Structure 1
């Protein structure tokens, strides 16, 4: 059985060997730039690890690394919608090449993802495509809800959780489910892997929200970015649900106050978060989701030794605060 480090090397080599045309440069160079940006490779790693639960040879699952190309395609278009200048600590494709190039290169990435996915074993391809298409549409739905929230006066915690399940967790869960199918899992096993990854993806996104306001610089984005944008993160919607009217006014208007420096805005909003116990409540929700994920994995009817690499990887994801 390969170690997680060996699986990551296998994945990186596989992606690096995907040859793209050289012309037109302004279509393909941004794709190379995006895919070379690294990132955690969370989705294809979960795919390979899920395959490894049921199969000794995970090479069969490599074409489904198309999920990483699809994920990066969504980031290109997200950055246009968010007017984001930075992605993973370097200029975004949108900032470097402009919106039109980012749209077209993103479209080409989506097509490339399907072309790669089509190399999966023919007997399993209909099931793989069904999972992939459901997952891809869910991501689009989640993104639309996220954009809707920008102009919505009140967003509940339940609405926020539904949104991140679609925008983040569905892609993570679809990746795990495809890996299980390609490894030979039956319907019940593959659905259990899906539910494991839904909970893990939720924990991961909530941790991301927490790190944005309280973490270090390791995420490649400005600490307090969500606060400065007035974004309805889990921390913000939780705070709004618990705040009195005076606190709500601070949460609603601080990010727009031109008289305050960015650091003052962050400090003012965090003071409300702290007063309402929001960091602890967020940690509590992260732990709940992560524990549910591990319990679901533990209930899977495969030898414990086969589960350990996936369990170890999940723990490494949730140890980002350390």
Structure 2
């Protein structure tokens, strides 16, 4: 895996070098240095799970056969397109949320001399994806399918972000808007399509598959993405900050978290009153009251029950799929997230 990661990072350097020499724009030294710094700060800094999953999925679709150098390069390039998409979303998301840190360092827009230039940097990141696809896939029979796929997933993700933003409008904190159905809709569109479906869809397209024949695979991956986000919501409150790498703030931020929608579903009127009075308040005393209520409602037990039922349901769906290589891809994804602690 370490070798795969270092090979993957080498492809980043090559793609970056091509983008900094793009013949469609006359770079000055200043503009080239700006873009290079912006890319290095925002693109390769995460866990790279989404990008690496493209290579992994493609290899499993090929029955585990050794990939050619060309296949490794092309799957890596597609993986990096997803990492570029992620960087574009995060740069803009941090501005919308007025965030301070991302991946243990200040958000890009918080850096001196960056500020709102970050909005345009986000647009440049998005445009880099189509440059990479043009440079390396234009001659492929599936080129248009890749463009369609990235355009569709970007639209779905931006629409999910919109539902999230308008559900948590400043000054309109209203818990009655929150429900399991609303939580599912936000997560499905904002996270599941680009984090779970897109890496596998890229591998399927490159393997010559028609995505219209794989709606079942898409549905399983979206369900997996929802399960992943429920874990995230749970860990935000009950996880160890040293393990998950951040201090959770979903309660203070009035997030439409799975925990609060489950609490609203099972609490009595008196407990509901506690939630309405304390959820979304920055004071530690308010947060403590919400957490105490979560414990009173045994949300840890409710989550554990949800986790085991979700896992069972996903395994059943995966094993019902007629293709063994596709099953292997889906089981690989599920294995990485089941009972995770971070």
RMSD of equivalent CA atoms:
2.6
Within 5 Å, give how 1:175-190 maps onto structure 2: 175-187=199-211, 190=214
Between 1 and 2, higher relative CO (CA 8 Å, sep ≥ 6) is seen in 1
Structure 2 Cα separation of the partners of residues 45 and 296 of structure 1: 24
Structure 1 Cα separation of the partners of residues 156 and 212 of structure 2: 21
Q: What's 1:237 paired with?
A: 261
For residue 39 of structure 2, the aligned residue among 13, 31, 53 is 31
Structure 2 Cα separation of the partners of residues 99 and 292 of structure 1: 46
Larger Rg: 2
Give unmatched runs, 5+ long, in structure 2. Answer: 21-28
Identify the range of structure 1 (286-295 vs 96-105) with the bigger mean alpha-carbon deviation.
Answer: 286-295
Conservation of the 8 A alpha-carbon contact between 1:50 and 1:179: yes
Q: CA deviation at 1:77?
A: 0.5
Structure 1 Cα separation of the partners of residues 315 and 47 of structure 2: 20
Within 5 Å, give how 1:228-307 maps onto structure 2: 228-255=252-279, 260=283, 262=284, 264-303=285-324
Question: Are residues 1:222 and 2:266 paired?
Answer: no
Q: What's 2:7 paired with?
A: 10
Within 5 Å, give how 1:36-55 maps onto structure 2: 36-37=44-45, 39-55=46-62
Conservation of the 8 A alpha-carbon contact between 1:8 and 1:45: yes
Identify the range of structure 1 (83-92 vs 24-33) with the bigger mean alpha-carbon deviation.
Answer: 24-33
Q: CA deviation at 1:252?
A: 2.8
Structure 2 Cα separation of the partners of residues 116 and 292 of structure 1: 38
Identify the range of structure 1 (236-245 vs 124-133) with the bigger mean alpha-carbon deviation.
Answer: 236-245
Q: CA deviation at 1:208?
A: 0.7
TM-score, L = length of structure 1: 0.86
CA-to-aligned-CA distance 1:87-111 (integer Å, 9 cap, x gap): 1121111222544122111111101
Structure 1 Cα separation of the partners of residues 217 and 3 of structure 2: 22
Secondary structure at the aligned position of 1:53 is classed as helix
CA-to-aligned-CA distance 1:258-297 (integer Å, 9 cap, x gap): 7x4x2x3332111111222323323333444444443343
Question: Are residues 1:321 and 2:320 paired?
Answer: no
Within 5 Å, give how 1:201-216 maps onto structure 2: 201-216=225-240
Structure 2 Cα separation of the partners of residues 228 and 33 of structure 1: 28
Secondary structure at the aligned position of 2:233 is classed as helix
Q: What's 2:24 paired with?
A: none
Identify the range of structure 1 (93-102 vs 212-221) with the bigger mean alpha-carbon deviation.
Answer: 93-102
Q: CA deviation at 1:257?
A: 5.2
Question: Are residues 1:162 and 2:177 paired?
Answer: no
Identify the range of structure 1 (39-48 vs 19-28) with the bigger mean alpha-carbon deviation.
Answer: 19-28
Structure 2 Cα separation of the partners of residues 202 and 88 of structure 1: 22
Conservation of the 8 A alpha-carbon contact between 1:48 and 1:61: yes
Identify the range of structure 1 (245-254 vs 144-153) with the bigger mean alpha-carbon deviation.
Answer: 245-254
Structure 2 Cα separation of the partners of residues 254 and 87 of structure 1: 27
Q: CA deviation at 1:303?
A: 4.0
CA 242–288 in structure 1, closer or farther in 2 if over 3 Å, else same? same
Structure 1 Cα separation of the partners of residues 133 and 309 of structure 2: 34
Identify the range of structure 1 (129-138 vs 246-255) with the bigger mean alpha-carbon deviation.
Answer: 246-255
CA 291–34 in structure 1, closer or farther in 2 if over 3 Å, else same? farther
Structure 2 Cα separation of the partners of residues 273 and 33 of structure 1: 38
Conservation of the 8 A alpha-carbon contact between 1:139 and 1:167: yes
Structure 1 Cα separation of the partners of residues 329 and 125 of structure 2: 30
Give unmatched runs, 5+ long, in structure 1. Answer: none
TM-score, L = length of structure 2: 0.82
Conservation of the 8 A alpha-carbon contact between 1:197 and 1:293: no
Secondary structure at the aligned position of 1:10 is classed as helix
Q: What's 1:194 paired with?
A: 218
For residue 93 of structure 2, the aligned residue among 78, 91, 116 is 78
CA 169–290 in structure 1, closer or farther in 2 if over 3 Å, else same? farther
